[in-house]
Structure 1
Amino acid sequence: MKKLNKISAGFLAVVAFVGFNACSDDDNLIIATPEGGPQLVTPASGTAIVLSAANEQNVATTLVWNDADYDAQTAINYSVEIALSGTDFAAPIAGGSTNERFISWTNQQLNDVSIAAGLNPFVAGDLDVRVISSIGTQDAQQQISDVITLNITPYTTSLPTIAVPGDHQGWDPATAPRLASSEFGASDYEGYVWLNNEYKFVAPDDAGNFAWGNTDWGDDGSFSGVLVEDGESNVPATPGYYYLQVDTENLTYSANQYTNWGLIGSGTPTGWDSDSDMTYDSTTQTFSITIDLTADEIKFRANDGWDWNYGDTGADGRLNNGGDNIVVPVAGNYTVVLDLSNPREYTYTLTLN
């Protein structure tokens, strides 16, 4: 940064007079001329960075630059912009701001801006990075640095989903219930949906949007659990609550109706002999019951049988098919809620009234 070493006392007096009389309500009057923008130092353009959910809070990289030149000693503001490579920063993503000459990104921070800029999870892509300098509270006298390109491989912790539009919700893929796969890149999907008559399955587009015109699947006409993309039929269903499983690679599906859910166990009034039926709320998409429980054990089961039941292995509030019995902490009157609406993230709550 250059500094003005020789300034006459008369010039300073004039500046002070003008600043006092013309800008008495502005404490940020700066006499400076932009003479050179910031210069990026590290990382080198072309650097490849693979981000990881396991290292979310660890630093992924640190962007360092040389100071911009304003031909005056003044505080300089720096803001970082990131954009999909080749877009000429038409839709830049804010990468942070500072008064220092560097900024560090954790894996999570860099991942967030990478996804926002348009990169796809687990696919390497190029992002352009630049720094803009300015002075004063109004970010005046902006100067733009050179541009470097980073090759970023982002990640996602969200499971891929497909939509289930149909008569149950007006055949609108954008608002339809979702099924989730077991992991990114897997073709197996599952989830619970209240169905009414006919339905289909719809994949998202590259941007993650669900709409007609995307890949969609229906029954091959045999109604034996086989899916096809072309010449398909809508899948029929009698009204009820279903557990759906779909494999979009093997083109198969199954629909098991589990409309009746109940609470059973040594902590319930009828013990392990019979269920206490829960009530479905279509607005919250949950089952619930208010019931007196003792400080014993409970589970959730479907259709008054043991073929399909949930417990909580690990006591983490997440349900596991056939999992451990759930411990009731103290005796009392409880509101128990079973939430199967979030695919592969099935949960419950026990609220003491």
Structure 2
Amino acid sequence: MKKILILLLGLVIVTCFNSCIEDDEPTFMINEEAIEAPLLVTPNSSVNLDQESADQQALTIVWEDANYNFETPVTYNIEVTAAGEGFDTPIEAAQTSERYYSWTVGELNSLAIAAGLEADTEGNLNIRVVSSLGTNDGVPADSNVLVITLTPYSTIIPVKDLFLVGNATAADWNNDNNNPPIVRNPANENDFSFKGRFLGGGDLAFKLLEIRGQWQPQWGTNDGTTVEVNDGTGSDPGVFSVPAEGYYEFNINIDDRTFSVSPYDASGATDYTAIGIGIIGSATPNGWDDDTDMTQSTFDSHLWYINDIVLIDGEAKFRTNSDWSTNWGADTALTGYGNQDGPNIPVTAGTYDVWFNDLDGSYVFILKN
């Protein structure tokens, strides 16, 4: 009998011990009204962005720790918007467990461009710090807002673009009518080409403009074999033309002043009208999660575009039907020729018009600011 009592007592002790082990993680109830949000102590200021000092430190922000009334690790997310935009869709600039963060001149400049500030124009960035607990941004608390005044610079090296104009093209004789660009050879800034539909015969013709909305500089031909230009100081050249409506390949070199036009067989090209084409990537508004759809030209079904898209520093590709079975990429920025499963296209922050031609995978990014 004594042995039985001892065994029962031991069983009770083991059961109680196991219950203690299972409940060894206490549950805390957080009074959200008692939370002290992080406090930015860095004053509002102006920052000089000098491109020649891109690797130098430009700005460090400091804040007082958030107080959740018990010891626990706190994560800080730094959010940035252009002044007047609010924080409904901020840029998530950084995440840290420290109570300070720094940017170089180049990093802060890219952040300003990504937020929508125009290059060479003074503007304000709003910065705040949001504290949270755990890995799921639990119990967030927003800091006060810091205002930084700066003038971002453009990081794009100026190069010539050429745009189609004329009644043989989609734009007609309108110099600011969403004129399609032709593709600059990434290996030769003076060499351009285009595969696409032209109208031909009679007085149907076209020229090339360097700047949409301006008639000069203007490129054409006076003798049908060589290229002439009016840079704004002379007379406008004659026109290019094709004999009949159809698809053609047009090539021009503005350095050696040569051009060629030849018929292009597009009869076997895939028609993507039903499934569409979009742009995707870390530089695009939806990141790698979803496409930003492009618009198909009503003049040329193989030509696609998207206007005024805000891109950030990152990468991009083109693909069909929001799927990777057909996609185009290349390793050259601004312009180039994408290949199936090619590398990601490098992108620098800015607002762009983006054009894509599914006949040859060519693309052109036209910087707007």
TM-score, normalising length: structure 2: 0.47
